[in-house]
Structure 1
Amino acid sequence: MDCGIELKGCVCRIKNCATELFSMEEDLMIDDEESWNLVGRDLRLKATFLYIDLSRVISSCGSDECKKTLTRLANKFLYFMDELEDAVKSRSVPLMQMCYSDTTHVLREVVAALVPSH
């Protein structure tokens, strides 16, 4: 498999997953148990794909500066994703909305950092 194609696939999945996360805001107005469970599963799935793809993109960075920047942003993003998942588990809509805001803010930084280098 061509490494360039794999890397482009990773970046594409990151951007698609980011778009899906950015559009989840209305889904966070949860009022029943099934919705909480669906949102929690969806977040875990997205976090897993993003972790794998971000790891691949970071490992393919040509410069140390690129690796450091993306690693810092990816770690920050994954921390906020964990916080968001914990908020979903706690069933607190206000906490979840705050964590969602933090998560999407950092995710926008991650996506912006991908654009110049890939």
Structure 2
Amino acid sequence: MGHEMELKGCFRRIKNCAIELFSTMEEDLEMDDEDSWDLVGRDVRLKATFLYIDLCRVITCCEGEEHKKALTVLADRFFYSMEELGDAVESRSLPLVQVRYSDTADALREVVAVLAPSLQSGPCESDPEEE
């Protein structure tokens, strides 16, 4: 029972981080001052850390080798995008940050789409059926 509760927490944090990344990053990018750059940088690093830990736990417990492989590939792409976004924020180049943010948001949407059945029904109950 404790394992299932832990996974539910992972799914909840993944969902919340995704929502926050999609909503607040765009607003934060509107303000072009030193404080907002620092805030965005810290936020990206913090969310990347939570998402890394939670996605690793979820991937580890998922059933079905194909589902696990697909999720791993998507998660790797997402984390590469997050790293690129972090580098762009450090460069203080708004146009570059906007491109990297768009790439990161797209990669995260793909991860969330694969996880969607689990996010709604519960952790890793079964492989989602592909149509």
TM-score interval for Structure 1 and Structure 2 normalised by the shorter chain: over 0.9
User: Aligned pair 1:77/2:92, yes or no?
Assistant: no
User: Aligned residue pairs: how many?
Assistant: 118
Report how far residue 2 of structure 1 moved: 1.4
C-alpha contact 1:29 1:93 (8 A) present in aligned 2: no
Shift of 1:103: 0.3
Query: Is there any run of 5+ residues in structure 2 with no aligned partner, and where?
Result: 124-131
What secondary structure sits across from 1:4 in the alignment? helix
The alpha-carbon deviation at position 116 of structure 1 amounts to 2.5
How many Å separate the matches in 2 of 1:6 and 1:109? 23
Name the structure 2 match of 1:44: 45
C-alpha separation in 1, matches of 2:45 and 2:37: 12
Letter in 2 for 1:4: E
Aligned positions of 1:78-97 closer than 5 A: 78-97=79-98
Is the Cα–Cα contact under 8 Å of residues 58 and 71 in structure 1 kept in the other structure? Answer: yes
Amino acid at match of 1:13: R
Corresponding position of 1:18 = 18
**Residue number in structure 2 paired with 1:110:** 111
Larger radius of gyration: 2
Q: Which whole-Å deviations, capped at 9, do the CAs of 1:80-114 have from their partners, x for residues lacking one?
A: 00000000000000000000000001101101101
Determine whether 1:27 maps to 2:16.
Answer: no
1:2 — aligned with what? 2
Q: Name the TM-score, length of structure 2 as normaliser.
A: 0.86
Distance 1:6 1:112 in 2: 21
Q: Report the counterpart of residue 59 of structure 1 in structure 2.
A: 60
In the TM superposition, residue 43 of structure 1 has moved relative to its aligned partner by 0.5
Q: Unaligned stretches of 5+ in structure 1?
A: none
TM-score by length of 1: 0.96
Q: Among the aligned pairs, what percent are the same residue? A: 68
Per the TM alignment, residue 4 of structure 1 is displaced from its structure 2 partner at its CA by 1.0
**What whole-Å deviation, never above 9, does each CA across 1:18-50 have from its counterpart, x for those lacking one?**
000000212112321111111100110000000
Letter in 2 for 1:81: M
